[in-house]
Amino acid sequence: MQLKRLSLAALAAAALTSLPAQAQTEIQWWHSMTGGLNDWVVDLANGFNASQKDYKVVPTYKGSYDESMTASIAAFRAGNAPHILQVYEVGTATMMAARGAVVPVGKVLADAGYKFEPKAYIPAVVGYYTAPSGQMLSFPFNSSTTVLNYNKDLFRKAGLDPNRPPSTWPELVGAAAKLKASGVACPFTTSWQSWTQLESFSTWHNTLFATQNNGFGGNGARLIFNSPLHVRHIENLANMAQQGLFHYRGRGNKGDAPFYSGECAMATASSSTYASIKKNAKFEFGIAPLPYYPEVPGAPQNTIIGGASLWVMAGKKPAEYKGVAAFFNYLTNAEIQAKSHQRTGYLPITLASFKLSEDSGFYKQNPGTDTAVNQMIRKTTDKSRGVRLGNFNQIRAIMDEELEQVWAGKKTAKQALDDAVKRGNEQLARFEAANK
Amino acid sequence: MAVEKRVRFRSWWLPWVLLAPQVAVIAVFFFWPAGQALLQSLQQQDAFGLSVEWVGLDNFRRLLADESYLDSFQTTALFSVLVAGLGLSLSLALAVFADRVLRGAGVYKTLLIWPYAVAPAVAGVLWLFMFAPSIGIVSYALRGLGYEWNHLLNSGQAMALIVFAAVWKQISYNFLFFLAGLQSIPKSLIEAAAIDGAGPWRRFWTVVFPLLSPTTFFLLVINVVYAFFDTFAIVDAATEGGPGKDTAILVYKVYYDGFKALDLGGSAAQSVVLMVIVVALTVVQFRYVEKKVNY
């Protein structure tokens, strides 16, 4: 299917290029979007290519996020990296540290004469990809955040109000117990356990996940997600697991499928699951903000972003950078942004596109789609801007490993989080040593 | 009577020319990458290779200080013994049966050889589907029998899952060699044993198995190497090393640290350790096990 689509796109592109006599500058864009999202990427490139004659953006699917990143690092070492590379948020610190390998997007835009207005963007989104100096390093492309999906049909069956999803963790435990009593095998599960239960959990409670403002303040950050609040939350989930209220369904996005199939009644997941739920679910569903602990001061604050941004690789010709800048400028257009947001469920990246979606009545017609936006649009604090740490891919794997020990009953929450912090800090020290 | 096996060449350069293609292949596909691994194991570099620093034996020191790395030796030992042991005995049994089949032998053999064409990652995914705790057909059947299957949190089950997948994938290869070995055993020997009154069981252990020993030995070496090196894709697809690190065998960590975590120095150091282990194991096998082999 995908191959066919790709080859069709390639044919179409070939047909287009053979027409104009004058040579176009080609811009290579490597990405990791599959299925409907791949169509979206191809449409964006085609839209840009049709809007002008000088440049041609060529999108290429290069495998999952970590695969395409490995591929472009290998390509960079061999001297033929793409112009634009889509990198997931976990890889942000690695890309930031690779000073000789990337060109800040702010510089690319300014050099080509485009004005870059940071205030036009949603703060938590643009803040994540901005250097301490205020320079925008990469172009926010597809951003999502953490939400609570729930099955309204199962809520009704359990005698719960389908329009009042649990807003706090104690409420969620109560709802899960009722769901279980009504015969639901899996009342609650989660995807991306470290992202939803520790990272976003921290900013949502305005509590630090790591020192140095979660790594935004510069080097030398150390993990501190073994605070009493974190331990309490993981303990809470461990108790839920023991009572059969929380079912662990695996790492990464493995928790999504049992929610789509109607097996699990509630799931904390990425807001980008919206399109897939809408397509797959044979039940009425709702999207609620992440639950919180009401007695924690400052909660709820804001959740943090996931997804990916576009990085510009170094060592290309000036004309090509002009093309990259023109393409990014095209992508910031409010209407294109709003269309992308409504089509994919990713966050609107500029405030104007959010406004445009609101005015067009999109959120009224598609209830729940504004949940993610509302969680993100607030003014962020130093503690809640996001988590940006080196070797974060490995740290997430460590958190997965340690949390699994808790769900299996082999370690207490405190012990597992202490161990995760200790092992994660070794990764941070190692990253600093390699990127002096 | 000692037979002179060596061939003597008159010219000094001809043997080298004849050897050259083989030497070139080994140099390009073994010595060069192995040398690179040795070199990188003494360095620490960032993902893009922008800064390279000589760190001496730091990468090795860090590995030895890492408890989870030491644990993964045990995991790997268990995994390799299970994969080689189960893989060899199952395929030997299948080959013995295939050797006796008269009708439909071709179909039977083809079906057994099939899994060899399946990529390791695909094998991992296939088994994962069957055993997926909520949707897998096997785990569903097991639940019906009152046995709860959840390899996401049960380490024993997770280990069993990757062993099944790895063995299943390798059975075809072993089967082919065992079958060829069985077919090269002269029928007259077995008939003679039968006339002497030895039953099938006895004939197998006293005549067939000793004559198969060169094949068995070769397959033992190959299977150990397979379990050590070629199985990371199965682990990656089926368990990602979990729960915790309980199925993170050594080569999976090499793959993970090198290709996912982009820590080339640490990954190279682990490859060197792995290389040393396999060389040592092979030496042991050739020195001690080979003595029991009759050619």
Q: In this predicted model, what pLDDT tens digit does every residue of A292-317 receive, in sequence order?
A: 999 999 889 999 888 899 999 998 99
- Considering only CB atoms, which chain B residues are within 8 Å of A192? none
Q: A1 pLDDT band (50/70/90 cuts)? A: very low
Say whether residue B191 is in contact with chain A using an 8 A CB cutoff: no
> How big is the A-B interface in CB pairs under 8 Å?
85
Which one of B69, B128, B134, B159 makes the best mutation probe of the A interface by having the most chain A beta carbons within 10 Å? Answer: B134
Reported as half-sphere exposure (CB side, CA atoms, 13 A), residue A151 has a value of 26
Q: What is the mean pLDDT of residues A267-278?
A: 88
Q: What is the mean pLDDT of residues A105-109?
A: 92
Answer whether A66's CB lies under 8 Å from A393's CB.
yes
Stretch 95-154 of chain B: residues touching chain A, C-beta under 8 Å: 133-135, 152-154
Stretch 9-48 of chain B: residues touching chain A, C-beta under 8 Å: 44-48
Distances (CA, A) of B80 to B113, B197, B229, B278: 22, 39, 10, 12
Q: What is the mean pLDDT of residues A84-96?
A: 90
Calpha distance A327→A221 (Å, rounded): 35
Structure tokens given for A284 = 């009425």
pLDDT at A219: 78
Calpha distance A248→A196 (Å, rounded): 13
Distances (CA, A) of A215 to A98, A268, A431: 16, 25, 12
Calpha distance A63→A82 (Å, rounded): 14
CB distance A400–B44 less than 8 Å? no
Closest CA to A371 of A118, A150, A142: A150
Answer whether A136's CB lies under 8 Å from A130's CB.
yes
Calpha distance B11→B173 (Å, rounded): 41
**Reduced DSSP (H G I as helix, E B as strand, rest coil) percent helix, strand, coil of chain B, to 5:** 75, 0, 25
Structure tokens given for B218 = 């070769």
Calpha distance B229→B76 (Å, rounded): 11
Q: Cα distance from B229 to chain A (closest Cα, Å)?
A: 21
- Considering only CB atoms, which chain A residues are within 8 Å of B241? 401
Tens-place pLDDT, residues B69-121 = 888 999 999 999 999 999 999 999 999 888 887 777 788 888 888 888 888 88
* Sequence-distant (≥ 6) Cβ neighbours of residue B232 within 8 angstroms: B120, B249, B251, B252, B254, B255
pLDDT at A386: 86
Q: Where are the alpha helices (DSSP H) in A217-288?
A: 228-242, 256-260, 274-280
Label residues A182-197 b or e (16+ Cβ within 10 Å = b): bebebbbbbbbbbbbb
Calpha distance A408→B154 (Å, rounded): 7
Region of B280 (left: φ > 0; alpha: ψ -120 to 50; beta: rest) is: alpha
CB distance A101–B135 less than 8 Å? no
Of A70, A402, A405, the CB nearest to B262: A70
- Considering only CB atoms, which chain A residues are within 8 Å of B68? 423
Calpha distance A386→A392 (Å, rounded): 13
Residue appearing with tokens 């099939």: B114
- Considering only CB atoms, which chain B residues are within 8 Å of A66? 259-260
Which one of A65, A193, A404 makes the best mutation probe of the B interface by having the most chain B beta carbons within 10 Å? Answer: A404
CB distance B50–A98 less than 8 Å? yes
pLDDT at B5: 63
Say which residue, B103 or A26, is predicted with more confidence. Answer: A26
Element (H, E) at A123: helix A123-128
CB distance B135–A407 less than 8 Å? no
Give A270's strand partners: A146
pLDDT at A240: 96
pLDDT at A22: 56
Residue type, A203: T
Residue type, A243: Q
Q: Cα distance from B65 to chain A (closest Cα, Å)?
A: 11
Answer whether A86's CB lies under 8 Å from A105's CB.
no
Q: Cα distance from B147 to chain A (closest Cα, Å)?
A: 16
- Considering only CB atoms, which chain B residues are within 8 Å of A394? 257, 261, 263
Answer whether B286's CB lies under 8 Å from B263's CB.
no
pLDDT at A20: 47
This prediction's pTM: 0.85
Q: What is the mean pLDDT of chain A?
A: 89
Residues of chain B predicted below pLDDT 50: 1
Which one of A64, A401, A431 makes the best mutation probe of the B interface by having the most chain B beta carbons within 10 Å? Answer: A401
CB distance A251–B242 less than 8 Å? yes
Stretch 58-87 of chain A: residues touching chain B, C-beta under 8 Å: 66, 69-70, 73, 76-77
Residue appearing with tokens 């279980």: A180
pLDDT at B115: 85
Label residues A135-168 b or e (16+ Cβ within 10 Å = b): ebbbbbbbbbbbbbbbbbebbebbebebeebbbe
Stretch 53-82 of chain B: residues touching chain A, C-beta under 8 Å: 53, 62, 68
Q: What is the mean pLDDT of residues A380-408?
A: 90
CB distance A435–B262 less than 8 Å? no
Angle at A69 between CA A343 and CA A132, to 5 degrees: 85
| Lowest mean pLDDT across A73-87, A126-140, A229-243, B148-162 | A126-140
Closest CA to B293 of B218, B206, B203, B224: B218
| Lowest mean pLDDT across A109-118, A146-155, A172-181 | A109-118
Residue appearing with tokens 């049909």: A153
pLDDT at A7: 52
Structure tokens given for B176 = 């082919």
Calpha distance A127→A68 (Å, rounded): 24
Element (H, E) at A270: strand A264-270
CB distance A404–B153 less than 8 Å? yes
Distances (CA, A) of B154 to A404, B129, B158: 10, 17, 6
- Considering only CB atoms, which chain A residues are within 8 Å of B53? 434
Q: Which value, to the nearest 10 degrees, does the dihedral of the CA atoms of residues A200, A205, A209, A214 take?
A: 80
Answer whether A154's CB lies under 8 Å from A178's CB.
no
Residue type, B171: I
Q: Which value, to the nearest 10 degrees, does the dihedral of the CA atoms of residues A38, A42, A44, A48 take?
A: 160
